[in-house]
Structure 1
Amino acid sequence: MNILSEIVENKRKEVEANKELYPVKLLENSPYYESQPVSMKKYLQRQDKSGVIAEIKRKSPSKGIINSHVSVERTSIGYMQAGASGLSVLTDKTYFGGSAEDLKLARSFNFCPILRKDFMVDEYQVIEAKSIGADLILLIAAVLDKSEIERLGGLAQSLGMEVLLEIHNKEELDRSITDKVNLIGVNNRNLKTFKTDIQTSFDLAELIPNEFVKVSESGIADPDTIRQLKAQGYEGFLIGETFMKNGRPEKAAKEFIKLLV
Structure 2
Amino acid sequence: MRFLNEVINLKMNEIKIRKKKIKFIKIYNIFYRKNYRNIDKFFSKGFLFGEVKNFSPLKGKISNKFDIFKVSEYYIKLNIHNISILTDKVYFGGELSYLPILKCKYNNLFLRKEFIINEYQIYETIISGGDYLLIITEMLSINRILKMTSKFNCVILENFNLRNIKKINNIYNKNIIYGLNNRNLITFKNIKLYKLVKYFDIKKKVISESNLNLKKIIFLKKLFNYFLIGEFLIKKNDTRDK
TM-score by length of 2: 0.88
Deviation of 1:179 (Å): 3.0
My pick for the range that moved more, 65-74 or 14-23, is: 65-74
Which residue pairs with 1:231 in the alignment? 222
**CA RMSD across the alignment:** 2.5
Summarize deviations over 1:171-201 as a string: whole Å, max 9, x none: 111112313561001001111232224x2x2
Any idea what SS the aligned residue of 2:17 has? Answer: helix
Which residue pairs with 2:188 in the alignment? 194
- Note if 1:218 corresponds to 2:227: no
Trace 1:1-261 onto structure 2 (pairs within 5 A): 2-27=2-27, 34-37=34-37, 39=39, 42-46=41-45, 49=46, 51-67=47-63, 69-156=65-152, 161-177=153-169, 178-179=171-172, 182-197=176-191, 199=192, 201-221=193-213, 223-232=214-223, 234-246=224-236, 248=238
Any idea what SS the aligned residue of 2:151 has? Answer: helix
Shift in CA distance, 44/7, structure 1 to aligned 2, threshold 3 Å: same
CA contact (8 A) 1:141 1:165 kept: yes
Matched letter for residue 179 of structure 1: Y
Number of corresponding residues: 239
Shift in CA distance, 112/247, structure 1 to aligned 2, threshold 3 Å: closer
Matched letter for residue 225 of structure 1: K
**Distance in 2 between residues matched to 1:30 and 1:105, nearest whole Å:** 18
CA contact (8 A) 1:32 1:131 kept: no
Matched letter for residue 118 of structure 1: E
**Distance in 1 between residues matched to 2:97 and 2:208, nearest whole Å:** 26
**Distance in 2 between residues matched to 1:209 and 1:97, nearest whole Å:** 35
**Distance in 2 between residues matched to 1:226 and 1:213, nearest whole Å:** 16
CA contact (8 A) 2:161 2:184 kept: no
**Distance in 1 between residues matched to 2:100 and 2:184, nearest whole Å:** 29
Which structure 1 residue ranges, 5 or more long, are not aligned? 253-261
Matched letter for residue 248 of structure 1: D
**Distance in 1 between residues matched to 2:219 and 2:121, nearest whole Å:** 35
Percent identity between matched residues is: 28
**Distance in 2 between residues matched to 1:68 and 1:21, nearest whole Å:** 33
Deviation of 1:215 (Å): 0.2
CA contact (8 A) 2:31 2:126 kept: no
Shift in CA distance, 31/153, structure 1 to aligned 2, threshold 3 Å: closer
Deviation of 1:30 (Å): 6.1
Summarize deviations over 1:133-178 as a string: whole Å, max 9, x none: 001111111111100100111111xxxx201000111111111231
Summarize deviations over 1:16-69 as a string: whole Å, max 9, x none: 111111223443576996244474x644445xx3x1100011111111222364
Any idea what SS the aligned residue of 1:17 has? Answer: helix
**Distance in 2 between residues matched to 1:124 and 1:140, nearest whole Å:** 16
Matched letter for residue 216 of structure 1: S
CA contact (8 A) 1:162 1:182 kept: yes
Deviation of 1:245 (Å): 3.3
**Distance in 2 between residues matched to 1:239 and 1:92, nearest whole Å:** 17
Summarize deviations over 1:82-121 as a string: whole Å, max 9, x none: 1214010000111111011111122112222211000100
Any idea what SS the aligned residue of 2:208 has? Answer: strand
